[in-house]
């Protein structure tokens, strides 16, 4: 494969060993690689910036980032959503300095040029002196706009005019995402603005982890098990790892885990049709029994079959997003957490962790309050779980800077491979979900596929066939 050559003569392609399934640690923090990522990856991918419910009214906005590019996510009077480059076309000052608000016009603090919520140039002080120059058409003075599409209320944007539509970008993984985020008529809303905090680590540490890596939970998050947050053995490690377009999700085998010791419930569940099972025994996290009725309208029969037996719990969207829908212990009992993360690169060894907590819009207030409690106890800056990860990622990042470190590799050799038999509930028929399926104990397949997708972007072939091993 061709691709960029680093300044010491090393071809970038050589830093991923396709035979041995190893990745050079140098890829984590080499500043040259980071520059290439901005130009080749973050210039092209669809990334999540906000949830629609953060900007419910006309002219609401939030300020966010695509890679190192600041943007403003705005809502127009007709309800449409815009993503405009938050950089003044005059001399490059940021036109919006607040994190969120409601504005019909953004007036640049430097010389006072004004732009509307769609980035259109509206005027400048002392217009008679024509301070924007003689030759420029007004359109040329507009702020740059990104392409915008939404999925389940999440606002995605890309700078790339060639990028496939978001639905195609999500590909086969959307089938499973729907089971967590697009399952009721009213849909989700945010539990307040997202948490935002900076972690001194490379963005790929959480990026590749979220494609798979159920494995680390047993050791790194052991304290959660001890608190009763999940099984203390390895049973929640079994299920199916699904991978598509570099995205990854873990489906949990419901016969294992907390159901394993409740033989009666498992046996009863097996006698019920999938929807009945969901409604009566295996209610999906974040739904009340009444809301579960809506699953029938929103999901296909195949989706309901998967949700009943192999519910998705944790996943990641390529390249820098994390997704969650699971239960967590609180002092008031188990409660659901629904969350999305974005790992926004700030430099080779720093990223901003943006963390949205969500809830079904139609849920009763008490239910929402409990979910907020679970969310802040579990994830993000305040949570038991991710304070563990936030300790690990910076150490991996530091390791990659040393003389020996940068010559080391990280390893993805524990591979299941495709075409393994799916045992259990699906013996009597085909598994109805798509994507590359890796059943059994969670392994490295999805994360390795994540790196193959990363490689495609970096070598300049981003929109080719879905790379997988």
Q: Which residues here bind Fe ion, judged by CB under 5 A?
A: 389
Q: How far apart are CA 43 and CA 158, in angstroms?
A: 7
- Per partner kind, with CB cut-offs from 5 to 8 A, the member of ligand FES, Fe ion, none near residue 52 is none
The total of other beta-carbon atoms located within 10 Å of residue 134's CB is: 5
- Per partner kind, with CB cut-offs from 5 to 8 A, the member of Fe ion, ligand FES, none near residue 113 is ligand FES
Distance of closest approach, residue 92 Cβ to ligand FES, in angstroms: 6
Q: How far apart are CA 409 and CA 389, in angstroms?
A: 20
From 105-113, 205-213, 216-224, 288-296, span contacting ligand FES (CB under 6 A): 105-113
Q: Does 91 bind ligand FES (CB under 6 A)?
A: yes
Distance of closest approach, residue 385 Cβ to Fe ion, in angstroms: 6
- Per partner kind, with CB cut-offs from 5 to 8 A, the member of ligand FES, Fe ion, none near residue 91 is ligand FES
Distance of closest approach, residue 30 Cβ to Fe ion, in angstroms: 25
- From the list 98, 110, 223, 395, which residue makes contact with ligand FES (rule: CB under 6 A)? 110
- Per partner kind, with CB cut-offs from 5 to 8 A, the member of ligand FES, Fe ion, none near residue 111 is ligand FES
Contacts 24+ apart (CB under 8 A), 56-64: 57/102, 59/102, 59/103, 59/104, 59/117, 60/100, 60/101, 60/102, 61/96, 61/100, 61/101, 61/102, 61/103, 61/117, 62/99, 62/100, 62/193, 63/96, 63/98, 63/99, 63/100, 64/344, 64/354
Q: How far apart are CA 19 and CA 119, in angstroms?
A: 48
Q: Does 283 bind ligand FES (CB under 6 A)?
A: no
* Residue number with CB closer to ligand FES (107 or 204): 107
* Residue number with CB closer to ligand FES (38 or 93): 93
Closest CA to 168 of 179, 158, 180, 182: 158
Asked if 310 and 240 count as a contact pair (C-beta separation under 8 A), the reply is yes
Distance of closest approach, residue 114 Cβ to ligand FES, in angstroms: 9
* Helix axis angle, 445-458 to 31-40, nearest 10°: 80
- Per partner kind, with CB cut-offs from 5 to 8 A, the member of ligand FES, Fe ion, none near residue 289 is none
Distance of closest approach, residue 203 Cβ to Fe ion, in angstroms: 15
* Residue number with CB closer to Fe ion (218 or 422): 218
Asked if 292 and 278 count as a contact pair (C-beta separation under 8 A), the reply is yes
b/e 396-410 (16+ beta carbons within 10 angstroms → b): bbebbeeeebbeebb
How far is C-alpha 255 from the chain's CA centre?
27
Asked if 326 and 334 count as a contact pair (C-beta separation under 8 A), the reply is no
Distance of closest approach, residue 125 Cβ to ligand FES, in angstroms: 9
Which tokens belong to 243?
């991978």
- Per partner kind, with CB cut-offs from 5 to 8 A, the member of ligand FES, Fe ion, none near residue 389 is Fe ion
* Residue number with CB closer to ligand FES (142 or 199): 142
Residues 229-268: x where in contact with ligand FES by CB under 6 A, - otherwise, as a string: ----------------------------------------
Q: How far apart are CA 177 and CA 192, in angstroms?
A: 22
- From the list 3, 32, 101, 111, which residue makes contact with ligand FES (rule: CB under 6 A)? 111
Distance of closest approach, residue 206 Cβ to Fe ion, in angstroms: 9
Which tokens belong to 287?
């739904």
Q: Does 113 bind ligand FES (CB under 6 A)?
A: yes
Residues that bind ligand FES (CB under 6 A): 88, 90-91, 93, 108, 110-113
């Amino acid at each position: 494969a061709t691709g960029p050559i680093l300044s010491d003569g090393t071809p970038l392609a050589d830093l991923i060993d396709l035979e041995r399934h190893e990745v050079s640690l140098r890829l984590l923090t080499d500043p040259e690689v980071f520059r290439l990522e901005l130009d080749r990856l973050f210039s092209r991918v669809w990334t999540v910036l906000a949830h629609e419910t953060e900007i419910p009214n006309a002219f609401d906005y939030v300020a966010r980032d695509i890679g190192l590019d600041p943007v403003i996510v705005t809502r127009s009077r007709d309800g449409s959503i815009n993503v405009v480059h938050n950089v003044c076309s005059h001399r490059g000052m940021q036109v919006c300095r607040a994190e969120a608000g409601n504005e019909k016009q953004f007036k640049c603090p430097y010389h006072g040029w004004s732009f509307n919520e769609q980035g259109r140039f509206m005027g400048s002080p002392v217009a008679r002196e024509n301070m924007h120059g003689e030759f420029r058409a007004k359109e040329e003075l507009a702020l740059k706009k990104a392409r915008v599409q939404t999925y389940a209320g999440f606002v995605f944007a890309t700078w790339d005019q060639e990028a496939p539509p978001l639905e195609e970008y999500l590909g086969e993984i959307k089938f499973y995402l729907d089971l967590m985020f697009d399952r009721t008529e009213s849909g989700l809303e945010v539990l307040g603005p997202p948490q935002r905090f900076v972690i001194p680590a490379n963005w790929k540490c959480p990026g590749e982890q979220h494609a798979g890596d159920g494995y680390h939970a047993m050791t790194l998050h052991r304290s959660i098990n001890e608190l009763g947050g999940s099984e203390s053995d390895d049973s929640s490690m079994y299920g199916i790892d699904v991978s598509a377009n570099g995205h990854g999700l873990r489906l949990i085998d419901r016969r294992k885990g907390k159901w394993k010791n409740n033989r009666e419930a498992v046996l009863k569940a097996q006698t019920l049709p999938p929807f009945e099972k969901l409604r009566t025994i295996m209610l999906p996290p974040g739904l009340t029994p009444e809301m579960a009725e809506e699953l029938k309208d929103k999901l296909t029969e195949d989706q309901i079959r998967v949700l009943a037996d192999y519910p998705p719990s944790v996943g990641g969207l390529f390249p820098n997003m994390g997704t969650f829908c699971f239960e967590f212990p609180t002092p008031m009992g188990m409660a659901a957490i629904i969350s999305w993360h974005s790992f926004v690169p700030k430099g080779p060894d720093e990223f901003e962790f943006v963390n949205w907590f969500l809830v079904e819009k139609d849920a009763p207030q008490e239910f929402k309050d409990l979910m907020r409690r679970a969310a802040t106890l579990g994830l993000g800056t305040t949570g038991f779980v991710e304070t563990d990860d936030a300790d690990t990622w910076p150490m991996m990042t530091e390791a990659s800077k040393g003389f020996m470190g940068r010559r080391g590799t990280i390893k993805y050799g524990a591979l299941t491979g495709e075409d393994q038999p799916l045992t259990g509930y699906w013996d009597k028929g085909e598994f109805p979900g798509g994507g590359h399926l890796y059943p059994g104990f969670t392994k490295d397949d999805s994360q390795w596929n994540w790196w193959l997708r990363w490689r495609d972007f970096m070598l300049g072939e981003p929109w080719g066939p879905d790379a997988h091993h």
